[in-house]
Structure 1
Amino acid sequence: MSIVWFKKDLRIVDHKPLHEACNSGSVLPLYIYEPEIIEADDYDPRHHQFINDSLLSLKESLKAIGGFLHIEYGSAIDVFKKLKNTLPNSISVYSHEETGNWVSYQRDIKFKKWCKSQDINWHEYQQHGVQRPTFDRDGWSYEWNKFMNLPKIEVSKNIKFSSFDYLFDLIDIKKIGKHITHKSIQKGGREAGLKLLDSFLETRGKNYSKEMSSPLTAITSCSRLSPYLTFGNLSVREVYKIAKAKIDKLKGIKNLGNWRSSISSFLGRLRWHCHFIQKLEDQPQIEWENMSRSYDSIRDDFNELFFIAWKNGQTGYPLIDACMRCLKDTGYINFRMRAMLVSFASYDLWLDWRKTSKYLATQFTDYEPGIHYSQFQMQSGVTGINSIRIYNPIKQQKDHDGEGIFVREWVPELKEVPLEYIFTPHLMSEGFQEIYNCKIGTDYPEPIVDHGLQVKKAKQVLYGIKKTEGARVEAKKVYLKHGSRRRPLLKRVSTT
């Protein structure tokens, strides 16, 4: 009996475990609601809702080829123990490799040991551009390209599904014991993902390269495919192939506007997606451990009041607050705004990224641990190899919401504030505050910190560490392990 264990690969197209299992006897498709995953501090009802949508979609895909999806609840080993004792024949397990959080990493280690003790073959297959194992980064780009250009795996026409009294009981988001904060998120499932991909490559994506940075335009000009890649409704490879076919089709055609640059930029983001997940694959501890240990203990004094104000969109910086409120309601904000939110938390408020990262993990519907923690460390200045990039929230607002449209939508306290004060409402006189129905300190807060002063302090600390010999040594180690490079590092040739 071949059990295909679906995890974060909720589709049947370009699914190697399913394809290989078909060649080894009857197939039992399985999904497990794992309490350890659900109870983890990075799991949120918005993730659960997207997964449930995806399971419904997967069920219909399997039904269309004569199959079913069996759902269990419990720890992976307990579930497989039960199946092993219930099924009449010996079992083999087929799944994709997963680069998830520490909980899933530990689960896989324990499950592998259990399989070995039970003489059960567990076949794992590469899902996207993340390589296991990778010994160094030289040649990574070549391997990524090679994998992406392999043929997409079509659904086998000869699948023999097991005769099994299957269960398909979804666990409602209200029953997972976590507070629901979102109002409306993207609908999960393959059909929704394909529809977005089509509209992005046909119409919405034309100005992607120009409009991805503003929260106003990104909501339509960005692909919005990230949660469908996170939960595997679509494979990175099939998206890559479809986008590459689009740009190849445009060769030689004139007057296309921004189409070529937009699709090229999008293809680069797909590579970037795997590049960052590879960091967590190679070093799972970066979920909580600084890549460069030289920066340990620099943010030990955690200001809980700052943290609460940041989470609730009550910092007195309009764009920060608008983005946090939008994210809380919808599960989405574009990449530049995400970077700004992390920058503000890490530099202006001097909050430890270990705690702020867990909160934002619960807010992003598309939360992908490998990208999430790598980016958090990068935007917090603790990798040792990246430039210290600090976002000025007032400048970002002027650049990307110059008319205050986004801010007024998500911070209604500022709805009547005129343009000249929408970036710095705290500078309004008391008379203007009365006229525009926004009393600073009552209706909307004073800026929680002085951006200029806080940035100066942050730079003094970070650059002070960066100049030390110990930090330089650490940075070289981090670059060798995680650095982005297309060509191998030049190696010194001995002349002796």
Structure 2
Amino acid sequence: MDPSASDPTGAVVWHRDQLRIRDQPAVAAATEHADVVLPLFVFDPGFYGDDGLACDARVRFLHECLVDLSDRYDTASGGRARLTYAHGDPTAVLAAAVDAGWTVFAARGPTGRYGLERDAAAADLGVRFVSGDGLRRGVERPRDGWSDHVEAWFEADQHRPSFEGTALTDLDTGVSVEGIEAEYDTDPSKSPVPEGGTTAARETLRSFVERIAEYPGSISSPLDAREGCSGLSPYLTFGCLSTRQVYQYVHEHAPSGRGRDMFVSRLFWNRHYHQKLEDWPGWLDTAVNPELAGFNRDTYDPALVAAWKAGRTGYPMIDAAMRCLEATGWLNFRMRAMAASGYFHLLQQPWRIGADWYHHHLIDSDAAINYTQWQSQAGLIGKPSLRLYNPRKQVRDQDPDGEWIRRWVPELTGLPPEHLPRPELTPPAVQADCGVVIGDGPDADYPRPVVEYEAAKERFWRRYEGPKAAAAARLADEEVARRASFSRGLAGAKAIASKYGEREPTGTQTGLDDF
């Protein structure tokens, strides 16, 4: 990129994951600051190739978002400018822009690992990171009054950039979406995957609002959830719409009732988890509670990890979930939590490997949500209550006829539904009649459980009891309490610590009042 002919009052909008124009704080700031605005996206090699951070289907979704965003800039400029693409180290690209006299704006957002280092390097160059996502920054206790703060942001006016008096421009860098896909041999295999971009996002939102009353009864069953959920999560992850845009559209167009209330609560949860990562970037790498750092490290077994990834654990509900994840890039929340629980609590494997696998394959994976959910589900916060899913019970509760299991574990197609919770107990005569062999030999159609449920569960609880008291005590540490973003701060953490000894989960989700 060589912006040597830039106007002295020129500004670059560095798009990363807020791939929209409206309600995009960096776009609004750039148009207020400069006479000439150049929108830019940098293809970062770190996200591509065999060691890339995203599967090919997620990369393709991103590319579709970029094409749609470029079209929107074309419309906004009256056909005079599109999104400019660059390829390489973003810091080097931005340094060239700054050296040529551009002021670079980017929307501030929570990140960790590589993204944290990248943004710090960009800030050192003088890139202006613009807040506007509803999160609290620069205050000692960001959780104090948080719910009221976010609700006020949801209801506030959106950022509406004006291009009157501002000229949009672009540069011919020779970089294109098609060229990037050819260079990295992008070949998505997942299906069905939604189409990326703000245009598709708006249609998805409109369609969902028409059926929002059915939402509460559709989110738990993996059979119903694909059509019953909003379908908005990948668009929120890539910023095709802001959560505020969705919130305001829902309040304006959706009928009041339980469906609307439940969905709106999910928008608060979205901001809640982003606030967590904003407060402490370590969520992506480090156990929240120091007493639980390295838990399951000593029980690491590559064969068990491989069985979980491949959907060959011998637990049909877990296996269906893992195969669905790899084939489609999607799972509803309950199945994500159940498969994570099976990985961490039953197979007792290190959490980061599982969380990274989800992040690679989920089209909608948002680091702020994926990694905080994994730590919470695993129990690495150290709260006395801990939800351990029973994958056998989930068959009975969520797929009693076995329709979903047979879709993703076709080798069990002939097995009667009553045997699906525990295929290994199917009598040999029944196995022969239905043509399904359960076992560990080369002729078996489906494996026995790689770990026995009751024994594994008890083994986990015995191991967890060891650091449990110390972990509960550490919740009274103000630094740990802030990491975990307890709604009532240190006092709330101490109250939870005082409940040490509670082991059975309540199975309920925190309400909005608890934010």
Whether TM-score is above 0.5 comes out as yes
Q: Where do 5+ consecutive residues of structure 2 fail to align?
A: 1-9, 495-515
State the 1:163 CA deviation: 6.2
Instruction: Please tell me whether residue 225 in structure 1 is matched to residue 232 in structure 2.
Output: yes
Q: Judge which range, 294-303 or 370-379, deviates more.
A: 294-303
State the 1:43 CA deviation: 2.4
State the match for 2:6 in structure 1. Answer: none
What is the rounded CA distance, in whole Å, between the counterparts of 1:423 and 1:372 in structure 2? 28
What is the rounded CA distance, in whole Å, between the counterparts of 2:188 and 2:384 in structure 1? 36
What is the rounded CA distance, in whole Å, between the counterparts of 2:281 and 2:493 in structure 1? 28
State the 1:405 CA deviation: 0.7
The ranges of structure 1 where at least 4 consecutive aligned residues each deviate by more than 6 angstroms after the TM superposition are none
What SS does the corresponding residue of 2:167 show, helix, strand or coil? coil
TM-score, length basis structure 1: 0.89
State the match for 2:270 in structure 1. Answer: 273
Q: Judge which range, 38-47 or 379-388, deviates more.
A: 38-47
Letter in 2 for 1:431: A
What is the rounded CA distance, in whole Å, between the counterparts of 2:371 and 2:93 in structure 1? 30
State the match for 1:295 in structure 2. Answer: 292
Q: Note the alpha carbon deviations across 1:233-292, whole angstroms, 9 max, x for none.
A: 011110011112245x54xxxxxxxxx111111111111111112222111122111000
State the 1:436 CA deviation: 1.2
What SS does the corresponding residue of 1:485 show, helix, strand or coil? coil
Instruction: Please tell me whether residue 439 in structure 1 is matched to residue 444 in structure 2.
Output: no
Judged with a 3 Å threshold, the aligned counterparts in structure 2 of structure 1 residues 174 and 93 are, in CA distance, closer, same or farther, namely same
Instruction: Please tell me whether residue 209 in structure 1 is matched to residue 216 in structure 2.
Output: yes
State the match for 1:473 in structure 2. Answer: 474
Residues 330, 362 of structure 2: 8 Å contact kept: yes
Instruction: Please tell me whether residue 162 in structure 1 is matched to residue 169 in structure 2.
Output: yes
State the 1:98 CA deviation: 2.3
State the 1:168 CA deviation: 5.3
What is the rounded CA distance, in whole Å, between the counterparts of 1:54 and 1:92 in structure 2? 25
State the match for 1:255 in structure 2. Answer: none
State the match for 2:136 in structure 1. Answer: 131
State the match for 1:119 in structure 2. Answer: none
State the match for 2:499 in structure 1. Answer: none
Q: After superposition, where does 1:307-322 map in structure 2 within 5 Å?
A: 307-322=305-320
Q: Judge which range, 262-271 or 95-104, deviates more.
A: 95-104
What is the rounded CA distance, in whole Å, between the counterparts of 1:178 and 1:362 in structure 2? 15
1:197 to 194, 205, 213: 205
State the 1:157 CA deviation: 3.9
State the 1:390 CA deviation: 0.2
Higher relative contact order (Cα pairs below 8 Å, separated by 6+ residues): 1
Q: Note the alpha carbon deviations across 1:287-310, whole angstroms, 9 max, x for none.
A: 111000101233123110000000
What is the rounded CA distance, in whole Å, between the counterparts of 2:25 and 2:168 in structure 1? 16
Instruction: Please tell me whether residue 35 in structure 1 is matched to residue 35 in structure 2.
Output: no
State the match for 1:253 in structure 2. Answer: none
State the 1:355 CA deviation: 1.2
What is the rounded CA distance, in whole Å, between the counterparts of 1:419 and 1:363 in structure 2? 29
Judged with a 3 Å threshold, the aligned counterparts in structure 2 of structure 1 residues 360 and 380 are, in CA distance, closer, same or farther, namely same
State the 1:147 CA deviation: 1.4
What SS does the corresponding residue of 1:27 show, helix, strand or coil? strand
Q: Judge which range, 371-380 or 146-155, deviates more.
A: 146-155
Letter in 2 for 1:188: G
1:428 to 405, 426, 429: 426
Instruction: Please tell me whether residue 152 in structure 1 is matched to residue 158 in structure 2.
Output: yes
Judged with a 3 Å threshold, the aligned counterparts in structure 2 of structure 1 residues 304 and 245 are, in CA distance, closer, same or farther, namely same
Judged with a 3 Å threshold, the aligned counterparts in structure 2 of structure 1 residues 444 and 49 are, in CA distance, closer, same or farther, namely same
Judged with a 3 Å threshold, the aligned counterparts in structure 2 of structure 1 residues 294 and 155 are, in CA distance, closer, same or farther, namely same
Letter in 2 for 1:285: G
What is the rounded CA distance, in whole Å, between the counterparts of 2:366 and 2:493 in structure 1? 34
Query: Identity of aligned pairs, percent?
Result: 30
What is the rounded CA distance, in whole Å, between the counterparts of 2:172 and 2:186 in structure 1? 31
Q: After superposition, where does 1:85-164 map in structure 2 within 5 Å?
A: 87=100, 90-115=101-126, 122-136=127-141, 137-158=143-164, 159-162=166-169, 164=171
What is the rounded CA distance, in whole Å, between the counterparts of 2:287 and 2:186 in structure 1? 29
Judged with a 3 Å threshold, the aligned counterparts in structure 2 of structure 1 residues 459 and 179 are, in CA distance, closer, same or farther, namely farther
What SS does the corresponding residue of 1:310 show, helix, strand or coil? helix
Residues 46, 52 of structure 2: 8 Å contact kept: no
What is the rounded CA distance, in whole Å, between the counterparts of 1:177 and 1:280 in structure 2? 33
What SS does the corresponding residue of 1:93 show, helix, strand or coil? strand
TM-score, length basis structure 2: 0.86
Residues 326, 333 of structure 1: 8 Å contact kept: yes
CA RMSD of aligned residues (A): 2.3
Residues 14, 40 of structure 2: 8 Å contact kept: yes
State the match for 2:60 in structure 1. Answer: 49
State the 1:174 CA deviation: 6.0
Judged with a 3 Å threshold, the aligned counterparts in structure 2 of structure 1 residues 409 and 322 are, in CA distance, closer, same or farther, namely same
Residues 31, 161 of structure 2: 8 Å contact kept: no
State the match for 1:2 in structure 2. Answer: 11
State the 1:437 CA deviation: 1.6
State the 1:84 CA deviation: 4.4
State the 1:36 CA deviation: 2.9
Instruction: Please tell me whether residue 187 in structure 1 is matched to residue 195 in structure 2.
Output: yes
What is the rounded CA distance, in whole Å, between the counterparts of 1:325 and 1:125 in structure 2? 40
Judged with a 3 Å threshold, the aligned counterparts in structure 2 of structure 1 residues 161 and 386 are, in CA distance, closer, same or farther, namely farther
Instruction: Please tell me whether residue 65 in structure 1 is matched to residue 76 in structure 2.
Output: yes
Q: Where do 5+ consecutive residues of structure 1 fail to align?
A: 116-121, 251-259
